[in-house]
Amino acid sequence: MPNLKNLSPPADGYRGRFAPSPTGPLHGGSLVAALGSWLDARKNQGKWLLRIEDLDTPRCIPGIDQEILRQLLACGLSWDEEPTWQSKHQERYQKALERLNALQTIYSCTCSRQTIANVLEAQGVITPRNQEIVYPGTCRPKEVQLNQGFSKQVSGTAWRLALPPDLTIEFEDLALGKQDQDLNREVGDFVLRRRDAVFTYQLAVVVDDADQGITHIVRGQDLLSNTARQIYLQNILGYPTPSYLHLPLVLDEHGEKLSKQTLASAIQTENEQQALHELRKAAIHLGLRNLPDGKAISIAEWLLAATQAWNRKVTFF
Ligand code: GLU
Ligand code: ZN
């Protein structure tokens, strides 16, 4: 643990996390999220947890979780509690879904992507690329009925959350300021368990953040548009809402977000020099200036300087 004298007072009982999906090794963009969340936890003398979000099995690549752990350790980003894997906690998500069912807030949906596309087309709704498809409510019953077949767990049926009308969620992002989202207009009744029985990111992340007592979420801006959904789920499940800080995205030369889909290359961490080079790039992206760049510095020393630089930051991005 580095010496953290002269830092501003830490947030009480800070618990942060990094939650990669094992769909590819860490790239420059995911390292920014890892480093940003790690620095914020260290600055606050808090805990930094690692959670592997491996529920979407068709997209996960076997063995990549171990590669991510190795990459993080090579960069000196060590975690404070045993890492967790979402695939080992299916019963947690099932319980949360059952609670929501008891609250009469979910309903089953058998629409395929194509059915939804057809309904939207017939309504003349055009969804721009990269924008959320707003579910048109095709399967939504007039009154969401208690136990409408939920216990049978019909396979081939998705479970959606029924949103009440006029649901605008407001929150303060520590970097971006006031945010709001009208969930009906921008998202619609969203899926909590998919037709292939996979619990969705929205449900699992909310259950785990609460279960692990996460107080601060620091992650990439690509996830900003999910936050209102997560806050609403926290509200109905009676969980506290953590604070949020969304980090600037790393874009490639075409202005696209670095991601596994755009085949972003893995960070190179075979030796200390390579790892330091990757860390420096991530730090520049986080707006950290005047960090040591001499060859003689160790990763631990560099991370300490970066923590102090993060602490001196008055405004984010
Ligand atoms: N597993 C998500 C991802 O890799 C991130 C989850 C989160 O930080 O909320 O995109
Ligand atoms: Zn449907």
CATH code of the domain covering residue 263:
3.40.50.620
Q: Does the pLDDT value for residue 143 go beyond 80?
A: no
Give the residue numbers spanning the domain of 129.
90-203
**Are 196 and 94 found together in one domain?**
yes
| 233, part of any domain | no
In a domain, 244, yes or no: no
pLDDT at 227: 98
In a domain, 223, yes or no: no
Structure tokens at 235: 């509200």
Q: Is pLDDT of 297 > 50? A: yes
- Quote the pLDDT of residue 255: 73
Two structure tokens written together for 285:
């992206």
In this structure, the answer to whether residues 141 and 72 fall within a common structural domain is: no
Q: Which ligand is nearest to the CA of 227?
A: 1
The torsion of the CA quartet 290, 309, 220, 172, rounded to 10 degrees, works out to: -130
The reply to whether 100 and 68 lie within a common domain is no
Backbone φ and ψ of 229, nearest 5°: -60, -40
The model's pTM is: 0.92
Do 40 and 6 reside in the same domain of the chain? yes
CA of 202 relative to ligand 1 center, distance in Å: 10
Residues 95 and 168 in one domain: yes
Shared-domain flag, residues 39 and 52:
yes
Determine, yes or no, domain membership for 186: yes
Average pLDDT value over all residues in the chain: 91
Look at strands 216-220 and 191-193 and give their pairing.
unpaired
154 and 107 inside one domain: yes
* Residue 208 forms part of a structural domain: no
Distance, CA of 59 to CA of 220 (rounded, Å) = 20
Does ligand 1 lie within 6 Å of residue 227's CB atom? no
Q: Could you tell me if the CB of 19 is within 6 A of ligand 1?
A: yes
| pLDDT tens sequence across 82-131 | 999 999 999 999 999 999 999 999 999 999 888 998 999 999 988 887 77
| Same domain (yes/no): 290, 302 | yes
Do 135 and 178 sit in the same domain of this protein? yes
217 domain residue, yes or no: no
Beta carbon of 205 within 6 Å of any ligand 1 atom: yes
Name the more confident of 144 and 293. 293
pLDDT in tens, 236-247: 999 999 999 999
Instruction: Specify the pLDDT at position 263.
Output: 63
Q: How many domains does the chain have?
A: 2
Sign of torsion, CA 72 74 75 81?
A: positive
On whether both 270 and 304 belong to a single domain, the answer is yes
Q: Looking at the structure, tell me whether residues 81 and 100 fall in a common domain.
A: no
Answer for the pair 85, 65: CB distance below 8 angstroms, yes or no. Answer: yes
Higher-pLDDT residue of 313, 81: 81
